[in-house]
Amino acid sequence: GGWCWRSVGGWCWSTGVGVRVLVLVLEYVYWCWSTCTGGELIMNTATQASPLQDVHGDGRWLSMHNRFVNQAREMEPDVVFVGDSLVANLQSTDLWEKWFAPMHSLNFGIGGDQTQHVLWRLKNGELEYIKPKAVVVLVGTNNHDHSADEVAEGITEIFQAIREKQPQAYIVILTLLPRGEKPNPLREKNSEVNVLIKEALRQADLCQVVNIDRDLVLSDGTIDHRDMYDYLHLTSQGYRRAFEPVYMLLTNLLHENDTALLNDAALASPASDNPPADNRGTCVE
């Protein structure tokens, strides 16, 4: 009971003390490895497909997902929009009926979705049974618990999932919109995400990152409530500003040989900062 496990520097260490010291050393080494050297052991949940937690208990999110899966089984869309409430609310605008419904579009937007939730939906049936010519993605502004790097990785993971299931589709990644009436950290974070996804997808095949925040931020740095009524969601006027370049790009993709239709689209939608790209080989801005 009083024997020494090892004598070091004249000190007598018991077996119990030695084990405790060893455990402390190992814990310190683990901490350094997992945090001090880049956090390789920390999982980025923005890239891990997971369903939205049903905190209200009404099952609405899963019901909407199941409806989308059924729509994919029953319809033959040329365009699929997927994302959060900014995508979902688009379907309630006149622009959807005028611009996107005639393109045989499906809207798979759910309010509150983050990148991991969209990823789960895409991996669990929403991209089965169909072969769209284009898939449009807008998600990431709700990832409040993730850094800009993590959100960008989540969006990139969504791109990879779409590419795996729909190799023929042209993937359109929309930049995150600014948010908040005045400049704020969340707006800065979204801007950083946009820079990161443009760089991450620069060499990707059959894709385009489209800037949709054109003219939404005024010269004094504020956002007009006539464009974003709550400084997060778009008004009808805001949707027209944001989605004009999307409309022009999709029109070009779907009807590139129909000169008359392209001319009509140009008249319906003023020239944007994102003219449709001629190069279909790599992802462009």
pLDDT the model gives residue 271: 36
65, 78, 84, 85: the catalytic one is 85
Is 119 in contact with 157 (CB distance < 8 Å)? Answer: yes
User: Hey, what amino acid is at 251?
Assistant: T
Residues in the chain: 285
Q: Does the active-site annotation cover 104?
A: no
Beta strands in the chain (DSSP E): 6-8, 11-13, 79-83, 105-109, 134-138, 170-174, 207-210
CA 96/CA 102 separation, integer angstroms = 9
CA 216/CA 190 separation, integer angstroms = 14
**pTM exceeds 0.75 for this model:** yes
Please report which confidence band the pLDDT of residue 262 belongs to, taking 50, 70 and 90 as the band edges: very low
Q: Does the active-site annotation cover 233?
A: yes
pLDDT reading at 237 higher than 80: yes
What are φ and ψ of residue 108, in 5° steps?
-110, 50
Q: Which residues contact 183 (CB under 8 A, 6 or more apart)?
A: 221
DSSP letter string, 111-124: TT--HHHHHHHIII
Q: What is the pLDDT of residues 115-173, one digit of tens each?
A: 999 999 999 999 999 999 999 999 999 999 999 999 999 999 999 999 999 999 999 99
**β-pairing verdict for 6-8 and 11-13:** antiparallel
Is 250 in contact with 79 (CB distance < 8 Å)? Answer: yes
Is 158 in contact with 117 (CB distance < 8 Å)? Answer: no
Q: What is the pLDDT of residues 6-34, one digit of tens each?
A: 544 555 545 555 556 565 656 664 555 55
SS (H, E, C) 148-170: HHHHHHHHHHHHHHHHHHCCCCE
Is 249 in contact with 208 (CB distance < 8 Å)? Answer: yes
Find residue 8's DSSP bridge partners. 11
145, 230, 264, 273: the catalytic one is 230
Q: Does the active-site annotation cover 63?
A: no
Share of the chain above pLDDT 90, in %: 73
pLDDT the model gives residue 35: 53
Find residue 13's DSSP bridge partners. 6
Q: Which residues contact 27 (CB under 8 A, 6 or more apart)?
A: none
Share of the chain above pLDDT 70, in %: 75
pLDDT the model gives residue 215: 86
CA 236/CA 255 separation, integer angstroms = 26
Q: What is the pLDDT of residues 204-232, one digit of tens each?
A: 999 999 999 888 999 999 999 999 999 99
pLDDT the model gives residue 281: 47
Find residue 171's DSSP bridge partners. 135, 207
DSSP letter at 276 equals: P
